[in-house]
Structure 1
């Protein structure tokens, strides 16, 4: 049985961030067209709150179970 080392993979972080930005842009545009600017502001606020809570949750999990890496 051959033991092959895994090859290094490319970093697609920038491409993924651009794709997230484009998708968020058109989704917010559709929300704006259908419901108005107030709905876009509330959606942005809700996304910000969700990201903040996710960050706090991940930080608390890191304190409880530190990773080896």
Structure 2
């Protein structure tokens, strides 16, 4: 009786990336307006460094997983 098929979920990756860019832009502009350009630049550098570290941590987790015999 139930002819409803379950479809696949839509891929929202590009929407997530675009909204991250929009949000980080308005946050940096607000910080620039409140505390100045130096604070905004320091925050941007901090976020950039954190993103780079996340890539390193992900690579380390993947290498450890492969050594344990699991594919990530």
TM bin, normalised by shorter chain, reads 0.7 to 0.9
Aligned to 1:34: 34
TM-score, normalised with respect to structure 2: 0.79
Provide the rounded CA distance (Å) in 2 between the counterparts of 1:30 and 1:17: 20
Aligned to 2:7: 7
RMSD of aligned Cα (Å) = 1.8
Map Cα deviations across residues 9-66 of structure 1 (whole Å, 9 max, x no partner).
Answer: 1111111111111111110011000111111110111001111111101100000003
TM-score, normalised with respect to structure 1: 0.82
Aligned-pair CA distance for 1:68:
3.2
Runs of 4+ in 1 over 6 A off after TM superposition: none
Provide the rounded CA distance (Å) in 2 between the counterparts of 1:6 and 1:64: 36
Aligned to 2:23: 23
Q: Does the residue aligned with 1:9 lie in a helix, a strand or coil?
A: coil
1:68 partnered with 2:59: no
Q: Does the residue aligned with 1:50 lie in a helix, a strand or coil?
A: helix
